[in-house]
Every structure is written in structure tokens, then in C-alpha cells.
Structure 1
Amino acid sequence: GHDAYLTLENGQVVFHPAKEGKRIDIDATLKKLKDDLQASDSINSLSMVFTTQNTVKVSDADLKPLNTVLASYTTEYDPSNESRTHN
């Protein structure tokens, strides 16, 4: 999955919606590991527990109001000026 994001295309703000994905549920995975260790002296593998909840940090609602370019500025510089182009 991915967060919602904006791009600027032909001078227009374009909204790209969030997409839920999956992530490791750390708390559930640690609980499963603890339970497995209590049931046996050793384990040969660790089963990860995944969730699809709360995988998006920037939601569609966070970005929906942002639909206008407020300002734009371009500066010109001489690319042969090494002190300006070094970095």
C-alpha cells in the first residue's frame, strides 16, 4: 500500500488516493512467539502475523482540501559556476 499523495501535472494538482496494504503486526507476532516458546523449549521458525489495519499514514481526507498551487518560483543560475552547482 501507500499513503495518499499529490503531484503537479501540467500546472494542475493531481490527487492520488491512499491504498491500504499490509504490515507486520508486531504485538501479535511477539505474542505468538511468546506462546510458541511457552509451548516448546525451542522453535524452528517464526510465523509473522500480518494486518491490513492502519497501514496508511496520510489519508485521502488529509489531502483532499489541497487542490490549488498557491505559489511557484523559478531561479536561474549558470551551471558552469562550480560554486553554485556543487552538492
Structure 2
Amino acid sequence: MAQANKITDHDRIRRWAEERGGRPARVRDTAGRGGGGVLRFDFQEKDEALEEIPWDEFFRIFDENKLALLEQDETASGKTSRFSKFVNR
């Protein structure tokens, strides 16, 4: 069974995302609603709802909201996984 890991280290999060082609983003319609918006990774799948943001802004929102990243390195079949979810620390 594939395992998910809960991480808060900025370097590990950035490395995990970039290894999968992900860039820091937030859901466009949630920006400016106090707290900076809902965070996501943009895997370049042409999702118009996402707005790319700089890593420093991404991690500012991440820390202010006391989030952790629940991520999966590999699928049950051993392939690289892009499963991730932001959860409360």
C-alpha cells in the first residue's frame, strides 16, 4: 500500500513539487480573502482557476495558515505520485 507523509519543511516541499513539474499556485478566486488564498501546485495542466505565485509568497501563506503538506512519493504500483493535500499541522 502507498504511504502518505506529512511534511512542513519548505525545502522538502519545494523539492517534492519541482521533481514532479509542480509550481506554487493558489486558487485565483480565493486570493485576497484574508489568509492569502487556497494553495495548490500547478502541474502545467492548463487550469485557469490557478494563479502561479512566487515560492516566498506560497510559504508565507503556508506558514500563516499553519499548514502541512500530506504527500505521497510513490503510488502502490511504484510509480512517482503527484498526490498531495494541504492539511492543518
Whether TM-score is above 0.5 comes out as no
Normalised by the length of structure 2, the TM-score is 0.20
Normalised by the length of structure 1, the TM-score is 0.20
If each structure's strand is expressed as a fraction of its own residues, which one has the higher value?
2
Which structure has the larger Rg? 1
